[in-house]
Structures are given as structure tokens and as C-alpha cells.
């Protein structure tokens, strides 16, 4: 039989009524002739509660025990989903990560999937099971310990199963009905996309769009797994939601497909750094070791033999970055006049595969921002993305202006 993977996020299984609603959707796919692998998240808010309990019990916790505790939320959901399907006369069985087994690395709380053997689940399908309900977010290490994949890991679990079992498609059920040209809460003319390319979705996810987790999109692109983003709270048809697929599967392409934003950004500038070979490594090496996620980088020549180095990072990593730079200065690795942190900025980006074959996108973007009196602090570009740092107070205005400038309320 053809196989489908269906993933339900925390809001989709937040209580017994929502689990029953999700189970009805699974039952309909079984009635259409599919064997189904269902990946479930913990009930909404449960993982945060479990993490809180761990941190209250042991502030310097053992990561192995952390995983043992926080993985339990998905186990509860999987059991309840399986029981609900059984009550609907659908042959279903729940599976914990170690029972599959979903094999991972030993990096507790940030494990990566290494292998998903098919034999155990295939054997149960052959015996008449129609639905395997798998606890997402978790696996088993080479040492035989439970591991977790990090926040959003259930999306990654779903895509990995779709790849391992050659699924026809991987449906991600969430609290939104698809991928939009931008956040509808900011721009009421935002339009739901019927299709979006893997590369575009990867950029949007990495830039702050919360619909899909970045690792899951990377995995889908690598293994050519077709993803469909759907709402758990609407009646869906074959054309519902947004299909994330290969660029070749999209007939009509807008030059720009979406506008993304991130409000939790900071701009940091090292003033008067020695302009010499190796200075970039001397700066960004210590930042990487301190776990600072550097994004945009701009270097400006100041006085002779000196340079100013500007970079952006998440606002909650500013303190870590300041400590790393101060230590590097004290150790004599770098010398700078001062370090200025601007924590009142936001990043706004336009993304689109059509940018590869169209000139003038940057000019159009900058003109749209200029028309609204928005000053650009930092610019970075890639083949299908242009990002700018601006004052945070202008973020929503910038998103709206760019959405209008590129006509994203209209289909291609």
C-alpha cells in the first residue's frame, strides 16, 4: 500500500478533543488506502513544563536524565493517539523512539538522526497494522540511552520517516493553514502560497518564519521529500495547505516569494580594530567558541591601519559576545577601542528563487524602504535572499512596504 507520514504539532494534540480531531484525519487517510506513520509532539505546553521541572530539580542537570524526562511528553501523546484510533476501529500501535529504533548520535538534547531501520514497523504493517503512531523528537544513542533532537525535533522526525519509508508525502499539521507570503498578523494582505521551493522555505525558516523547523526542511530538500503544511483545525482537501517541493515542480514563480523578519536581533560593532591578516579569525573564533550565532558581517576601513567590524547576533547572546571579546582583548589576541551594542534593531528579508534570473531586486527593495524613511544599517545578500538590519520600531512598516512593493498579494 502507499504510505503517508502525518505529523501533528503540540497545538494539534493539546487535549483529548484535539487528539480525537487529529485521529479523524488519520482515519480518513486510512480509508483512502494509505498505511500511515503518525508523528506526534507533546501536548501543547507539556515540554516547557517538563523542562521547568528538570531545571527546578537540578540546575546543573545531567543531560541524559534531561532527555529521559522531556521525551516523556511525546510518549503520552503517542499512546493516547493510538488508543483513540483503536476506538475508531483503526488498527494502530504506538512506538517510542527506541522501539523503532530511531538511531541517533550521543549529543543529548541536540542529537542528530543517523538511521531508521524499517524492519520492525514494516513487519507490523504486514501483520495488519494500518497506523504506526511514533513519538517524535526522540531516539536512542549508540549507548542505549534515550536522546532528544532539540526544539522542533518532531518535524525532523517526520521528514526522516518519510525519507526512510519512501512515503508519498509528509503532511505537517499545525495551527496555520499553510505558508504565507509574510506574517498575516503584520500584513493583512498576506497570501497563502500553493507551492514554495525547498530553498525558499529553508531561507524563510532560518530567517524567523516559525511554520517549519530548519533542520526538517534541510532533510526534505536532501531526500526530495514532498512536504505539505496544513491546518489541523480545518477540513482539508487534496489542494489544501502549501506544498514544499522542488523548484522544478513550480510552474509560475514570483521574483520574490516572501518577506521574513526577526525582531530579536542585535548589531555589535568593534571600533578601531587592527587591520591585519587573521583579524577576522581572531574575532569570530572566540565568538563561535562562546556559542554566539553570528549572522551578518560588515567590515569598514576607519583610520589608516585600523578597521571597524560590525556583526549581528541574537539579542539574548549579546552578553556572551561582550564577554568573549573582552577576554580575547585581555589575552592579547585582538585590540580594539570599544565595543558598541545596539539591541534595538530588527532584520527584514526578501526571499525568492526568481531573484536568480531577475536584476534590480535590491534596488527595488532599497527604494521601497527609502520611500518610508527607513534607514538601512547593514545589508547582506545571497543568491535568493536580501536581508537588512533596521531600527526595530520600523520593522512592521518595512514588512508591509516590501510586501506591497513586490506585489505579493497577487499570484504570479
Which residues are documented as binding site? 7-10, 47, 74, 174-175, 180, 185, 210-211
- Cα 149 from Cα 330, distance rounded (Å): 37
Helix, strand, coil shares, percent, the chain, to 5: 40, 25, 35
Spatial strand order in the sheet of 146-148:
113-115, 103-104, 138-140, 146-148
Q: How many residues does the chain have?
A: 412
- Cα 381 from Cα 298, distance rounded (Å): 12
> DSSP states of 359-376 as a string?
S-HHHHHHHHHHHTTPPP
**Site of grid cell 551578518:** 296
Question: Exposed, middle or buried by CB within 10 Å (0-12, 13-18, 19+), for 339?
Answer: middle
Dihedrals φ, ψ of 61, to 5°?
-70, 155
Q: What angle do CA 154, 190, 188 make, to 5 degrees?
A: 115
Known binding positions for substrate: 47, 74
Cβ-Cβ contacts under 8 Å for 226 (sequence gap 6 or more): 168, 169, 170, 220, 243, 244, 245
**Dihedral of the alpha carbons of 370, 375, 381, 387, in degrees to the nearest 10:** -100
Q: List the grid coordinates of 18.
A: 484535539
Known binding positions for ATP: 7-10, 174-175, 180, 185, 210-211
3-class DSSP state for residue 193? coil
**Dihedral of the alpha carbons of 125, 127, 128, 131, in degrees to the nearest 10:** -30
Task: Label the pairing between strands 258-274 and 297-301.
Answer: unpaired
- Cα 5 from Cα 307, distance rounded (Å): 53
Question: Exposed, middle or buried by CB within 10 Å (0-12, 13-18, 19+), for 375?
Answer: exposed
Other Cβ atoms closer than 10 A to 92: 25
Q: List the grid coordinates of 267.
A: 548589531
Cβ-Cβ contacts under 8 Å for 401 (sequence gap 6 or more): 368, 369, 371, 372, 374
Amino acid at each position: 500500500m502507499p504510505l503517508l507520514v502525518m505529523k501533528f504539532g503540540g497545538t494539534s494534540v493539546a487535549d483529548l478533543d484535539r487528539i480525537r480531531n487529529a485521529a479523524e484525519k488519520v482515519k480518513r487517510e486510512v480509508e483512502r488506502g494509505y498505511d500511515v506513520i503518525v508523528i506526534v509532539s507533546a501536548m501543547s505546553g507539556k515540554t516547557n513544563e517538563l523542562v521547568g521541572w528538570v531545571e527546578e530539580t537540578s540546575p546543573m542537570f545531567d543531560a541524559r536524565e534531561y532527555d529521559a524526562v522531556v521525551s516523556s511528553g511525546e510518549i503520552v501523546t503517542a499512546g493516547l493517539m493510538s488508543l483513540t484510533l483503536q476506538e475508531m476501529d483503526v488498527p494502530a500501535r504506538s512506538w517510542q523512539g527506541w522501539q523503532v529504533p530511531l538511531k541517533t548520535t550521543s549529543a543529548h538534547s541536540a542529537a542528530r538522526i543517523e538511521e531508521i531501520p524499517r524492519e520492525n514497523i514494516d513487519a507490523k504493517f504486514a501483520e495488519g497494522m494500518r497506523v504506526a503512531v511514533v513519538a517524535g523528537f526522540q531516539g536512542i544513542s549508540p549507548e542505549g540511552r534515550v536522546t532528544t533532537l532539540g526544539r522542533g525535533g518532531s518535524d525532523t522526525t517526520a521528514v526522516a520517516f518519510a525519507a526512510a519509508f519512501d512515503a508519498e508525502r509528509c503532511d505537517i499539521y499545525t495551527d496555520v493553514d499553510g505558508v504565507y507570503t509574510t506574517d498575516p498578523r503584520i500584513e493583512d494582505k498576506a497570501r497563502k502560497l500553493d507551492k514554495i521551493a525547498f530553498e525558499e522555505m529553508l531561507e524563510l525558516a532560518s530567517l524567523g518564519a516559525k511554520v517549519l523547523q530548519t533542520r526538517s526542511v534541510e532533510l526534505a530538500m536532501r531526500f526530495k521529500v514532498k512536504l505539505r503544511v496544513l491546518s489541523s483545525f480545518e477540513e482539508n482537501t487534496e489542494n489544501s495547505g502549501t506544498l514544499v517541493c522542488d523548484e522544478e515542480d513550480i510552474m509560475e514563480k514570483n521574483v520574490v516569494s516572501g518577506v521574513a523578519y526577526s525582531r530579536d536581533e542585535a548589531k555589535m560593532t568593534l571600533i578601531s580594530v587592527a587591520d591585519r591578516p587573521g583579524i577576522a579569525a581572531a574575532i569570530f573564533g572566540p565568538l563561535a567558541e562562546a556559542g554566539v550565532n553570528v549572522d551578518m558581517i560588515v567590515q569598514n576601513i576607519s583610520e589608516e591601519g585600523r578597521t571597524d567590524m560590525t556583526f549581528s547576533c541574537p539579542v539574548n547572546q549579546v552578553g556572551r559576545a561582550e564577554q568573549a571579546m573582552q577576554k580575547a582583548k585581555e589575552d592579547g589576541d585582538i585590540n580594539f577601542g570599544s565595543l558598541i551594542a545596539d539591541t534595538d534593531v530588527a532584520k527584514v528579508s526578501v526571499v525568492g528563487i526568481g531573484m536568480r534570473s531577475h536584476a534590480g531586486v535590491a534596488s527595488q527593495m532599497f527604494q521601497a524602504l527609502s520611500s518610508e524613511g527607513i534607514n538601512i544599517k547593514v545589508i547582506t545578500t545571497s543568491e535568493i535572499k536580501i536581508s537588512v538590519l533596521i531600527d526595530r520600531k520600523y520593522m512592521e512598516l518595512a514588512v508591509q512596504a516590501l510586501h506591497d512593493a513586490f506585489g505579493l498579494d497577487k499570484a504570479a
